[in-house]
C-alpha cells in the first residue's frame, strides 16, 4: 500500500516536472522549426530594411530598430525618474509608509497592458499630436512615453529593494564621517546598490522589449526607420507590434508566416539572454516580476 | 569516490553479558563527500539501558546515532561502509542491506532531535503523526494512544484540556516531551536522543532525565550528551568518542573510576582531550 | 555652504521625481476609475454586447475571462506544485538544479505574445484544435507556471530540514513526508504564487487573442473547443474604435471591471504573503 502510493506521488512530481520541462523545449523547438523556412529562403535578406510580403521582401531591420528605439527612449525617461523616486521612498520617506508604497507599486505594476494601451489611445496620442502639432499623435515617442510609465512601478520597486538591501551600518558610517544626506546617498549607498539597480534596469529592459499591446495601439504601425533616424515624432513599428498586427493575417506555412516567427525568435533570444544574465549575475532575488 | 583501503576488523572483545547486546556497529566508516567523519567504529549498545555517547563537539557522535536509523541517507555526499546490526530485527544482516525497508526500520528505531521540532498542527495530531499510517485506528483508539503516550512523558495532565490547540503554543520543554511522546507512540525498540536537553532549561532537563530513567525499563536508549555530569547521573554504559573514533566503551562505573585510556580520563575529569 | 546648497537641491530633485511618478500613477488610476464609473450600471454588467461592443454590456466577457482563469488555475497549480516538490525534494544533482532554475527563469522571461504565437502554431495548426478557449487556458497556465513554481519552491525550500528528518525518524515514507510536512507548509507560498499568476493571466491579451477568443457574438462555450469572449480582447476591439465615444465609454467600463478583478487577485496575494511572513516568523 505504502510502496504503491509512494510511486503515485513520485510519478506525479516527476511527471509534472517532465511536462514543465517539455513545454519549454517544445516552445523553443516550435519557434525555431517554423522560422527555418525564412532563414533558408530569405537568408541575409532578413536583415534588410524593406518589408513587403507581396513582393517577397522580408527585411526586419525597421522593426528591430523600432523595438530598440522605443525601449531606449522609454528607459531614458523611466530610469532617472524611477531611481530618484526610489531614493525618495527608500532613503527620505519615513519607513512606516514603506509598506503602503510597496503595496501600491505592486498593484500598479499589475495593471494589464491593454489598459495602458487604451489610455495611450485616448490621451497620450492626442496630447502628443496637439503638443507637437502632428497629423497623427501615434508615434515612436508616444509609445516610448507610455512604455516608460508602464515600467515605472517595476523600476521603482526593484530599486527601492536595492537601496533597502544596503545594510544600515554604511549609512551610519557615512553620516559619522560628517557627510550630508546627498553625499551619503550618492557616495555611500549608490555604489553599493548599483549592481542591483543595473539588474532592475535590465529586467525592465526585457519587459519593455517584449511589450506588445500598449505599443501596438499607439505606435502608428509604419514599417520604416524614421528620417533622420533620431526623429521619434513619426510613426514606427516594433517587432512585437508587428507580430500582434500581422501574424493572424499571414497564412500558416507561408514564407510570410515564417519570417514573422523569425522576427519573434530574434527578440526572444535577446530577451532570454537578458533574463539569464540578470539571473546569473545580478541575483536581484525577486521572483514575481 | 573514496577507495576503501583499510581492512580493519573489530577486535573480539570479552563480554561480561554477551546476550544483552541489541545494536552492534562493526567496522563502520562514514564520509561526507571526501571528509572522513567516522573511522572504523566498533561499538555495542545494550538492551534496556541508557547508553550514553560522550565526547567533544565534532567528534562524530551525531553522525553515529543518525546512522542507526539511516536518517543520514538523504544527506548529500553521504557514503558509508561497514555494518550496523540490529539484533532480533535484521536477522544477521546490516540495516544498510538492500532488502531492509528503511521506513519500517525507523519505526523500530525512534529518534528525538536536539531542538524540539513540532509540526504546525494540533498537539493531538502531532502525537499521532507516525502512528496513523501504520494501521487504521478508530477515534477511540486514537485518543487512547494519545493519552497513553502523553502520560508516559507526563504531559497529559498539562495538555489534556487543549489537545486541539497548536503544538507550537507549548513551551520548549513541553515540545521536547511531546516529541518523545510522538516517538513512543510508534512503539520503537530503540530510542535515539541527540542532545535532547541542550536547548532546555534546568527544570525541563530534569524532567527529561527522570523520564529517561523510567523509559529504560522498556526501551533501549542511546543518548548523546556533552554534559559529563548528566552522563554521570543517568548513564548505564558510556561510549567515549573523539575525532570520529571510539576511544573507549564500558560501564559508567568503569569509565569514571578506572578507564583504560588516558584520553578518557582526561576528558571525564577536565572535559579536555587530545586524541 | 556650497555642500549644504547641493544637499538641498538633491533632496528637492528627489522629491520632485517622486511627485512626478506618484502623480502620473495616480492620474492613471483616476482616469480609469472616473471614466469607468460613468459606464458602469447594472445593465452594462448583466447584458450581452451589441454592435461590436459599442452598445450593450459585457456580461459574457466577464464570464469568459473568469472561465479562462479558472481553468488556468486548475491546469497550472497542480503542475507547478509537482514541479516545485520535485525540484526541492527529489532533485539532488547540482547542475540539474541550476539548469532547472535557468529554464524556469527563462520561461518567466518569455514575452507574452510569444506564448500566443506558440499556441497558434502548436495547438491551432499542428493539433488542429481550432480557436478554443481551453487552449487559451493551457497557454495561460504555461505562462504563469514559473511564477507558481518559484513561489512554491521558495516556501517549500525554506522549511527547515529538521522537519523532514523528524517525520522520517517516525518511520514516515517519503510520500507521507511530502503529504504531511511539505505540502501543508508549502501550500501557502504556492497559493500566493497562484494568485499573483492569475492576476497577470486575467489581464493578458496577447497570448489569447489569436487562439482563444472571438470578438463578439459568442456566449458561454458548451465544450472544450470553441471561442469565448474575454475582457482584455474586448477592450482591444473597443480601443481600436476609439473615435466612437460610445465604444470608448464601454472600453473604460470594461477596463474598470478588469482592473477590479486584477486587484482582487493581487490584493489577496499581498495579504496571503503578509500572513505567510507572520506565520514563518513565529
The pLDDT tens digits of the residues spanning A115-152 come to 999 999 999 999 999 999 888 889 999 999 999 999 99
**CB pair distance less than 8 Å for C164 and B74:** yes
Minimum distance, in Å, between the CA of residue C21 and any CA atom of chain A: 7
Q: Is B69 on the interface with C (CB under 8 A)?
A: yes
Res C281: pLDDT = 46
Burial of C78 (0-12, 13-18, 19+ CB in 10 A): middle
- A82 contacts A149 by C-beta, under 8 angstroms: no
Task: Render A234-260 in DSSP notation, one character per residue.
Answer: S-B--HHHHHHHHTTTSPTTSHHHHHH
> Is residue A285 pLDDT above 50, yes or no?
no
Tell me, yes or no, whether A60 lies in a domain. yes
* B268 grid coordinates: 571525564
Q: Is B8 on the interface with C (CB under 8 A)?
A: no
The pLDDT tens digits of the residues spanning A81-109 come to 999 999 999 988 888 888 888 888 888 88
**CB pair distance less than 8 Å for C164 and B119:** no
Higher pLDDT, B11 or A162: A162
Res A99: pLDDT = 85
Coil, helix or strand at residue A51: strand
Q: Is C185 on the interface with B (CB under 8 A)?
A: yes
| Correct CATH for C42-281 of 1.20.120.420, 1.10.3720.10, 2.60.40.790, 1.10.260.40 | 1.10.3720.10
Q: DSSP assignment, residue B216?
A: T
Q: Is B169 on the interface with C (CB under 8 A)?
A: no
Chains that touch C (3 or more CB pairs under 8 A): A, B
Tell me, yes or no, whether A162 lies in a domain. yes
Chains that touch B (3 or more CB pairs under 8 A): C
**CB pair distance less than 8 Å for C112 and A244:** no
Nearest to C145 by CA among C109, C120, C117: C109
Res B1: pLDDT = 47
- Give the C-alpha separation, B268 to A232, whole Å: 84
Tell me, yes or no, whether A27 lies in a domain. no
Share of chain A above pLDDT 70, in %: 96
Tell me, yes or no, whether A263 lies in a domain. yes
* B255 grid coordinates: 569509565
**CB pair distance less than 8 Å for C262 and A152:** no
Q: Is B179 on the interface with C (CB under 8 A)?
A: yes
Minimum distance, in Å, between the CA of residue C119 and any CA atom of chain A: 9
Q: Is C93 on the interface with B (CB under 8 A)?
A: no
Task: Render chain C in DSSP notation, one character per residue.
Answer: -HHHHHHHHHHHHHHHHHHHHHHHHHHHHHHHHHHHHHH--HHHHHS-EEGGGTEE--HHHHHHHHHHHHHHHHHHHHHHHHHHHIIIII---HHHHHHHHHHHHHHHHS-HHHHHHHHIIIIIIIS---SBHHHHHHHHHHHHHHHHHHHHHHHHHTS-HHHHHHHHHTT--HHHHIIIIIHHHHHHHHHHHHHHHHHHHHH--TTTTTTTB-SSS----SSSSB-B--HHHHHHHHHHTTTSHHHHHHHHHHHHHHHHHHHHHHHHHHHHHHHHHHHHH-
Q: Where are the beta strands (DSSP E) in A39-183?
A: 51-52, 57-58
Can you give the residue range of the structural domain that contains A193?
Answer: 45-282
The pLDDT tens digits of the residues spanning A57-82 come to 888 999 999 999 999 999 999 999 99
Q: Is C178 on the interface with B (CB under 8 A)?
A: no
* C171 grid coordinates: 518511520
Q: Is C195 on the interface with A (CB under 8 A)?
A: no
Task: Render C73-126 in DSSP notation, one character per residue.
Answer: HHHHHHHHHHHHHIIIII---HHHHHHHHHHHHHHHHS-HHHHHHHHIIIIIII
The pLDDT tens digits of the residues spanning C161-216 come to 889 989 988 888 888 888 888 998 889 889 999 999 999 999 999 999 988 888 76
Q: Is C63 on the interface with A (CB under 8 A)?
A: no
**Cβ neighbours, 10 Å, residue C41:** 11
Domain with residue A278: its CATH number is 1.10.3720.10
Q: What is the mean pLDDT of chain A?
A: 88
Phi and psi at residue C173, in whole multiples of 5°? -80, 170
Q: DSSP assignment, residue B220?
A: E
Minimum distance, in Å, between the CA of residue B266 and any CA atom of chain C: 34
Which residues in chain C land under pLDDT 50? 281-282
- Give the C-alpha separation, C81 to A12, whole Å: 10
Which residues in chain B land under pLDDT 70? 1-8, 12-19, 275
Res A284: pLDDT = 46
Alpha-carbon B271 to chain mean position: 22
Q: Is C248 on the interface with B (CB under 8 A)?
A: no
Choose among C87, C100, C175: nearest Cβ to A5: C175
Q: Is B115 on the interface with C (CB under 8 A)?
A: yes
Tell me, yes or no, whether A154 lies in a domain. yes
Alpha-carbon A8 to chain mean position: 41
The CA angle B202-B203-B205, to the nearest 5 degrees, is 60
User: Which of chain B's residues have a Cβ under 8 Å away from the Cβ of C278?
Assistant: none
Tell me, yes or no, whether A143 lies in a domain. yes
From residue B84, give the alpha-carbon distance in Å to each of B1, B14, B76, B96, B223: 22, 20, 21, 7, 17
Q: DSSP assignment, residue B28?
A: E
Res A80: pLDDT = 95
Q: Is C3 on the interface with A (CB under 8 A)?
A: yes
The CA angle A191-A194-A195, to the nearest 5 degrees, is 130
From residue C256, give the alpha-carbon distance in Å to each of A63, A149, C29, C209, C216: 32, 19, 9, 20, 20
Angle between helices A239-246 and A255-277 (to 10 degrees): 140
What total of structural domains would you count in chain A?
1
- Give the C-alpha separation, C141 to A16, whole Å: 13
Residues 97-136 of C with CB under 8 A from A: 100-115, 117-118, 120-122, 125-126
Share of chain C above pLDDT 70, in %: 97
Choose among C92, C170, C282: nearest Cβ to B129: C170
Res B259: pLDDT = 87
Please tell me whether the overall predicted TM-score, pTM, comes out greater than 0.95 for this model. Answer: no
User: Which of chain C's residues have a Cβ under 8 Å away from the Cβ of B110?
Assistant: 169-170
User: Which of chain B's residues have a Cβ under 8 Å away from the Cβ of C171?
Assistant: 103-107, 130, 134, 186
User: Which of chain C's residues have a Cβ under 8 Å away from the Cβ of B176?
Assistant: none
Higher pLDDT, A254 or A6: A254
**CB pair distance less than 8 Å for B74 and C171:** no
Ordered by start, the domain boundaries in chain C are 1-39, 42-281
Residues 6 or more apart in contact with residue A33 via CB below 8 angstroms: none
**CB pair distance less than 8 Å for A213 and C14:** no
Residue of C nearest to B120 (CA): C185
Residue of B nearest to C166 (CA): B117
Which domains does chain B possess? 18-270 (3.40.50.300)
Res C277: pLDDT = 67
Res A287: pLDDT = 40
Coil, helix or strand at residue B232: helix
Q: Is C12 on the interface with A (CB under 8 A)?
A: no
Res A46: pLDDT = 84
**CB pair distance less than 8 Å for B119 and C162:** no
Tell me, yes or no, whether A79 lies in a domain. yes
Minimum distance, in Å, between the CA of residue C14 and any CA atom of chain B: 46
**CB pair distance less than 8 Å for C82 and A17:** yes
What ipTM describes this predicted complex? 0.90
**CB pair distance less than 8 Å for C113 and A13:** no
Res A286: pLDDT = 44
Choose among B106, B107, B115: nearest Cβ to C162: B115
Q: Is C228 on the interface with A (CB under 8 A)?
A: no
Residue that the C-alpha cell 528525538 belongs to: B112
Amino acid at each position: 500500500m505504502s510502496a504503491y502510493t509512494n510511486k503515485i506521488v513520485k510519478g506525479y512530481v516527476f511527471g509534472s516536472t517532465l511536462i514543465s520541462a517539455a513545454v519549454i523545449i517544445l516552445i523553443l523547438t516550435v519557434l525555431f522549426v517554423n522560422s527555418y523556412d525564412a532563414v533558408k529562403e530569405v537568408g541575409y535578406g532578413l536583415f534588410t530594411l524593406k518589408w513587403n510580403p507581396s513582393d517577397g521582401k522580408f527585411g526586419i531591420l525597421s522593426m528591430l530598430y523600432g523595438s530598440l528605439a522605443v525601449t531606449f527612449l522609454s528607459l531614458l525617461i523611466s530610469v532617472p525618474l524611477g531611481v530618484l523616486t526610489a531614493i525618495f521612498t527608500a532613503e527620505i520617506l519615513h519607513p512606516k509608509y514603506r509598506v503602503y508604497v510597496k503595496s501600491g507599486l505592486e498593484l500598479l505594476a499589475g495593471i494589464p497592458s491593454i489598459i495602458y494601451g487604451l489610455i495611450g489611445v485616448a490621451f497620450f496620442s492626442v496630447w502628443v499630436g496637439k503638443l507637437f502639432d502632428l497629423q497623427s499623435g501615434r508615434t515612436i515617442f508616444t509609445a516610448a512615453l507610455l512604455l516608460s510609465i508602464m515600467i515605472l512601478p517595476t523600476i521603482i520597486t526593484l530599486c527601492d529593494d536595492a537601496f533597502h538591501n544596503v545594510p544600515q551600518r554604511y549609512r551610519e558610517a557615512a553620516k559619522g564621517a560628517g557627510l550630508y544626506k546627498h553625499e551619503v546617498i550618492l557616495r555611500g549607498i549608490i555604489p553599493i546598490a548599483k549592481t542591483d539597480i543595473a539588474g532592475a534596469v535590465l529586467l525592465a529592459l526585457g519587459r519593455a522589449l517584449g511589450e506588445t499591446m500598449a505599443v501596438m495601439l499607439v505606435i502608428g504601425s509604419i514599417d520604416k526607420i524614421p528620417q533622420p533616424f533620431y526623429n521619434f515624432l513619426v510613426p514606427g513599428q516594433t517587432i512585437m507590434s508587428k507580430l500582434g498586427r500581422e501574424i493572424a493575417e499571414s497564412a500558416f506555412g507561408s514564407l510570410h508566416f515564417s519570417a514573422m516567427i523569425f522576427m519573434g525568435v530574434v527578440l526572444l533570444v535577446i530577451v532570454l539572454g537578458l533574463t539569464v544574465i540578470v539571473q546569473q549575475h545580478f541575483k536581484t532575488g525577486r521572483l514575481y516580476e | 569516490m573514496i577507495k576503501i583501503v583499510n581492512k580493519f576488523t573489530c577486535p573480539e572483545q570479552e563480554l561480561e553479558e554477551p546476550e544483552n547486546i541489541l545494536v552492534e556497529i562493526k567496522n563502520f566508516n562514514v564520509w561526507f563527500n571526501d571528509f572522513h567523519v567516522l573511522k572504523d567504529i566498533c561499538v555495542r549498545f545494550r538492551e534496556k539501558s541508557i547508553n550514553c555517547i560522550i565526547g567533544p563537539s565534532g567528534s562524530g557522535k551525531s553522525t553515529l546515532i543518525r546512522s542507526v536509523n539511516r536518517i543520514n541517507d538523504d544527506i548529500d555526499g553521504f557514503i558509508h561502509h561497514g555494518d550496523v546490526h540490529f539484533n532480533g530485527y535484521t536477522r544477521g544482516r546490516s540495516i544498510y542491506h538492500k532488502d531492509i525497508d528503511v521506513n519500517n526500520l525507523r519505526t523500530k528505531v525512534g529518534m528525538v532531535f536536539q531542538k524540539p521540532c513540532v509540526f504546525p498542527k494540533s498537539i493531538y495530531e502531532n502525537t499521532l503523526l507516525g502512528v496513523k499510517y501504520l494501521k487504521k485506528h478508530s477515534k477511540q483508539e486514537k485518543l487512547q494512544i494519545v493519552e497513553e503516550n502523553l502520560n508516559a512523558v507526563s504531559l497529559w495532565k498539562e495538555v489534556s484540556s487543549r489537545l486541539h490547540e497548536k503544538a507550537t503554543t507549548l513551551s520548549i520543554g513541553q515540545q521536547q516531551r511531546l516529541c518523545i511522546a510522538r516517538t513512543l507512540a510508534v512503539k520503537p525498540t530503540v530510542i535515539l536522543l541527540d542532545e535532547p536537553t541542550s536547548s532546555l532549561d534546568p527544570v525541563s532537563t530534569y524532567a527529561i532525565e527522570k523520564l529517561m530513567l523510567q523509559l529504560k525499563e522498556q526501551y533501549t536508549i542511546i543518548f548523546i550528551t556533552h554534559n559529563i555530569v548528566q552522563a554521570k547521573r543517568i548513564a548505564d554504559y558510556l561510549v567515549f568518542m573523539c575525532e570520529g573514533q571510539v576511544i573507549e566503551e564500558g560501564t559508567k562505573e568503569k569509565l569514571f573510576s578506572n578507564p583504560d585510556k588516558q584520553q578518557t580520563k582526561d576528558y571525564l575529569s577536565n572535559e579536555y582531550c587530545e586524541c | 555652504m556650497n555642500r549644504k546648497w547641493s544637499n538641498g537641491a538633491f533632496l528637492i530633485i528627489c522629491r520632485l521625481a517622486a511627485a512626478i511618478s506618484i502623480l502620473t500613477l495616480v492620474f492613471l488610476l483616476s482616469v480609469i476609475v472616473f471614466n469607468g464609473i460613468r459606464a458602469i450600471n447594472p445593465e452594462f454588467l448583466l447584458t450581452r454586447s451589441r454592435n461590436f461592443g459599442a452598445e450593450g454590456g459585457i456580461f459574457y466577457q466577464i464570464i469568459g475571462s473568469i472561465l479562462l482563469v479558472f481553468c488556468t488555475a486548475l491546469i497550472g497549480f497542480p503542475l507547478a506544485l509537482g514541479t516545485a516538490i520535485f525540484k526541492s525534494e527529489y532533485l539532488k544533482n547540482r547542475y540539474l538544479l541550476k539548469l532547472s532554475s535557468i529554464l524556469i527563469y527563462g520561461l518567466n522571461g518569455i514575452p507574452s505574445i510569444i506564448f500566443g504565437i506558440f499556441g497558434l502554431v502548436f495547438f491551432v495548426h499542428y493539433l488542429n484544435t481550432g480557436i478554443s478557449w481551453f487552449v487559451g487556458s493551457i497557454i495561460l497556465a504555461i505562462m504563469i507556471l514559473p511564477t507558481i513554481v518559484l513561489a512554491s519552491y521558495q516556501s517549500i525550500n525554506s522549511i527547515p530540514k529538521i522537519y523532514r528528518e523528524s517525520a522520517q525518524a517516525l518511520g514516515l515514507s517519503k510520500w507521507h513526508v511530502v503529504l504531511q510536512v511539505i505540502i501543508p507548509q508549502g501550500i501557502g507560498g504556492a497559493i500566493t504564487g497562484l494568485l499573483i499568476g492569475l492576476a497577470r493571466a486575467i489581464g493578458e491579451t496577447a497570448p489569447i487573442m489569436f487562439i482563444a477568443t472571438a470578438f463578439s457574438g459568442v456566449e458561454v462555450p458548451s465544450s472544450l473547443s470553441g471561442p469565448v469572449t474575454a475582457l482584455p480582447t474586448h477592450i482591444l476591439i473597443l480601443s481600436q474604435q476609439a473615435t466612437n465615444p460610445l465604444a470608448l465609454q464601454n472600453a473604460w467600463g470594461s477596463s474598470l471591471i478588469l482592473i477590479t478583478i486584477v486587484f482582487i487577485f493581487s490584493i489577496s496575494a499581498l495579504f496571503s504573503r503578509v500572513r505567510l511572513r507572520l506565520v514563518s516568523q513565529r
